[in-house]
């Protein structure tokens, strides 16, 4: 098992897709839609050539991290920038 310190804390800037629901939208207005620049900060749990997975709450049992709550998968093609954040000393 991994320790909390084994997971880097990162900020990802990425372009998110858009959706709309609730009331009728004029089709002509949709031409003005753009991807939203979005920022997510979390523990880097996994990455490969296609995706990055962040966790926002990790749980430890003793020294080992054994579960996570609130996860997000971001396709790498949507990522603009990744910043490794520095640990703050207590």
DSSP per residue, 14-30: EEEP----SS---GGGG
* 27 located within any domain: no
Domain span including residue 11: 4-19+35-84
Q: If we measure between CA atoms, which residue out of 43, 28, 44, 38 comes closest to residue 78?
A: 38
Mean pLDDT of 68-90: 90
* 24 located within any domain: no
**DSSP for 30-80, written as a single string:** GGG--PEEEEEEEEEEEE-SSEEEEEEEEEEETTEEEEEEEEEEEEGGGEE
Confidence of residue 3 (pLDDT cuts 50, 70, 90): low
Number of domains in the chain: 1
Q: What is the CATH number of the domain that holds 54?
A: 2.30.30
CB 33 within 8 A of CB 18: yes
Q: Which residue has the tokens 């749990």?
A: 45
Instruction: State pLDDT tens for residues 6-56.
Output: 789 999 999 998 887 777 778 888 888 888 999 999 999 999 999 999 999
* 41 located within any domain: yes
Answer yes or no: is pLDDT of 1 > 70.
no
* 90 located within any domain: no
* 77 located within any domain: yes
* 52 located within any domain: yes
* 89 located within any domain: no
């Amino acid at each position: 098992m991994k320790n909390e310190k084994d997971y880097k804390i990162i900020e990802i800037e990425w372009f998110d897709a858009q959706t709309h629901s609730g009331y009728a939208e004029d089709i002509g207005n949709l031409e003005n839609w753009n991807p939203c620049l979005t920022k997510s900060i979390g523990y880097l749990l996994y990455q490969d050539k296609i995706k990055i997975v962040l966790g926002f709450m990790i749980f430890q049992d003793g020294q080992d991290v054994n579960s996570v709550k609130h996860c997000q998968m971001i396709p790498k093609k949507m990522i603009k920038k990744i910043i490794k954040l520095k640990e703050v000393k207590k």
